[in-house]
Structure 1
Amino acid sequence: MAESTAAFPDFPVPALCGPLRAPRQMLAEQTYGGHKSIHDDATAAGLGLRAGPIEGPTHFSQFDPLLAGLFGRLWFERGCISAHYQNMVVEGEEVRAFVQAPAEGAAVARIWAEKRDGTPVLTGSVSIGEVPAGAHELEQRIARLRPATGLVINRDLKVGQRGAAPETVTMDFDQPMGPYYPFTLADKLEAITEPSPWYTRAGGAGSPWGRAIIPIEMISVLLGSSDAHGLKGRGPAVGLFAGQQIRLVNGPLFVGQPYVLEREIIALSESARTESIWIRTQVFEAGTHTLVAEMILNHATLKASYPDYEREAHALGLAS
């Protein structure tokens, strides 16, 4: 057990089970490809869902106080969280985060989250620093993938394909993050389930790094959408995050700091209902090209949301 959880002064510690929280839905106005996303209630209803779900990485914040209690500041500097999203959560539902403390000498700890009634929300793993290749949840899932031989929506994409060009990004408190993330960091800090002074204008200078840090769940927002950079399937179609891994290498990431992103497709897969693009995004400090973080994202597109799916599958000889 390292340092205290001073980053979260109001959090009840010690604990490996967090309190029930009701995360907020902040993507109802999200758009891409000229249409609303699955987080819009009407779009979700058209796909057979009862409401627009809360974005998966929102739940990462509920783990931060638990992991800061276990690992101290190292969690924000060299932590890795890897999660497979199991069931969607809608606004008004309560969620609790759990961490299974790592056994003596173990490199990776298990995590999971549940709704109040025990419905699983996500399952995954966490670690600090370097761990053996393939130790984490998403890496293990990628290793088990079968070759994707029936792709329709993503048939133009290839493993190893890279984004069209490096992208430079920054996140400031009041900076609009675009139509894919129609809210600001300040908006998120008003709604985040686990507030910390280290995230704020007023308290950032008191962090161990002397600056405000970007919450781990907001790293996903900083990295934005890869659609505009050549790593996009055919559309219009509606997708969702099916799994996500965020690894800090030389963290934390700072508010107002420019970063350069480089993206690559590392796997393509399919299921009965979806086609997935697995993208690794590396985050470098602008100017020094120091690797500070990376994200692996399983972005799954719903076949039923692509109007031409059956016709094109038939033309490709893939229809049953």
Structure 2
Amino acid sequence: MSHAPFTTTRQDGVIAGPVRRPDNFSKHAKGSIHDDATAQKLGFKGGTVAGNIHLEQFPPLMAELFGRDWYRTGNLSLYFLTPTTDGEPVQVFARAPVARDEGGMRAEVWMEDAEGRRVCEGTAASGPPDMESYLRQKLKAVRPAEDLRILKRSRVGDTCVDVPARLALSRNENRLKFITEPLAEYEDPAVWGERVAAPAIAIDAMREVETPLFKPDEAFVGMFGAIEVQWIDGPVFMEHDYLADGQLLALSESPKTEVAWFESSLRDAEDGREVSRLILMTRLLKGSSPLWT
């Protein structure tokens, strides 16, 4: 975590943010992929920093690329490639945005570790919802699973509706103690009229659909493989009542994982307006489940 000012440099058409050292916020969650002992048992060098924590490093860069409207109608679509551990230095990058045919702009974005390996890559956009985002392109190429054991009861097309979601202010305050890029709107309600949820917390509101949507068999260890947030009429606020709808988009597999993709839509519980959407891909590690070991 760092509270040093967010400054950028530009070279050869690439905009670079400052080097940061994200805190592994969930490192004390025993039995999770963020716990050193569990992660090492599964072949990782240590407890991994969650993808939603890495996503929180991008908003200041989004504001520089697209202006403050990104917080209301922007998109950030990230596919995770290289896990990092607590305090490892990472840096966000973007290429100059280009115009989209449907309006707004789109840019290539990514994060690198100290060795230059990509931690994640994807796209960011402003304007109308980006139906050609990095993850929507990835979804087109997903190969259906042939052997699912943890997710054997799940079906593509499964849905849930009207799942209540409300973010307690205490969750934001706890997150802000360790957040990589602190922003005024996360603490000062005067900026947007209410306290804005930090990205990792806003994502949690849209993840409320996971419990009714999935029926896994046996315990497992999972990790985020991809996250896309699309603000429709954002931002997401703390202590505000929302309703979430969810749909299972795809199920696939690899030699070491079962993979689930779902989309969630968050609506204001009072007036029904859509506020945001989430696409999330989760990797369920086969080595963590008795169904595979």
TM-score, normalised to structure 1, is 0.83
Partner of 1:156, secondary structure, is coil
Decide which structure has the larger Cα Rg and report it: 1
Q: 2:109 is matched with which residue: 108, 111, 120?
A: 111
Per the TM alignment, residue 225 of structure 1 is displaced from its structure 2 partner at its CA by 5.3
* Match runs of 1:57-206 below 5 Å: 57-104=52-99, 107-130=105-128, 133=131, 135-163=132-160, 165-174=161-170, 184-200=171-187, 203-205=188-190
Closer, same or farther: CA 105–259 of 1 in aligned 2, 3 Å: closer
The match for 1:247 is: 230
CA distance in 2, matches of 1:19, 1:282: 32
2:157, 2:248 within 8 Å by CA — same for their partners in 1?
yes
Per the TM alignment, residue 172 of structure 1 is displaced from its structure 2 partner at its CA by 2.9
The match for 1:178 is: none
The match for 1:314 is: none
Q: Percent identity?
A: 30
Confirm whether residue 286 of structure 1 aligns to residue 244 of structure 2: no
The match for 2:248 is: 265
Amino acid at match of 2:141: R
CA distance in 1, matches of 2:245, 2:123: 24
CA distance in 1, matches of 2:245, 2:130: 23
Confirm whether residue 37 of structure 1 aligns to residue 32 of structure 2: yes
Amino acid at match of 2:271: T
CA distance in 1, matches of 2:239, 2:9: 32
CA distance in 2, matches of 1:13, 1:48: 35
CA distance in 2, matches of 1:225, 1:24: 24
Partner of 2:177, secondary structure, is helix
Partner of 1:62, secondary structure, is coil
User: Could you report, residue by residue, the CA deviation over 1:155-187 in whole angstroms, capped at 9, with x for unpaired residues?
Assistant: 211111013x5221222321xxxxxxxxx2112
Partner of 1:288, secondary structure, is coil
Q: Tell me the matched-pair count.
A: 284
Structure 2 residues not aligned, in runs of 5+: none
User: Could you report, residue by residue, the CA deviation over 1:226-278 in whole angstroms, capped at 9, with x for unpaired residues?
Assistant: 44314132221111111111100000111211111111101111111111111
2:265, 2:277 within 8 Å by CA — same for their partners in 1?
yes
Per the TM alignment, residue 141 of structure 1 is displaced from its structure 2 partner at its CA by 1.1
TM-score, normalised to structure 2, is 0.90
Partner of 2:16, secondary structure, is coil
Closer, same or farther: CA 162–225 of 1 in aligned 2, 3 Å: same
1:129, 1:249 within 8 Å by CA — same for their partners in 2?
no
The match for 1:17 is: 16
Amino acid at match of 1:69: E
1:160, 1:265 within 8 Å by CA — same for their partners in 2?
yes
Q: Which structure carries more strand by proportion?
A: 2
1:125, 1:136 within 8 Å by CA — same for their partners in 2?
yes
User: Could you report, residue by residue, the CA deviation over 1:19-63 in whole angstroms, capped at 9, with x for unpaired residues?
Assistant: 0000011112447xxxx2111111112111121101011112221
Closer, same or farther: CA 56–50 of 1 in aligned 2, 3 Å: same
1:102, 1:110 within 8 Å by CA — same for their partners in 2?
yes
CA distance in 2, matches of 1:92, 1:100: 26
Partner of 1:166, secondary structure, is strand
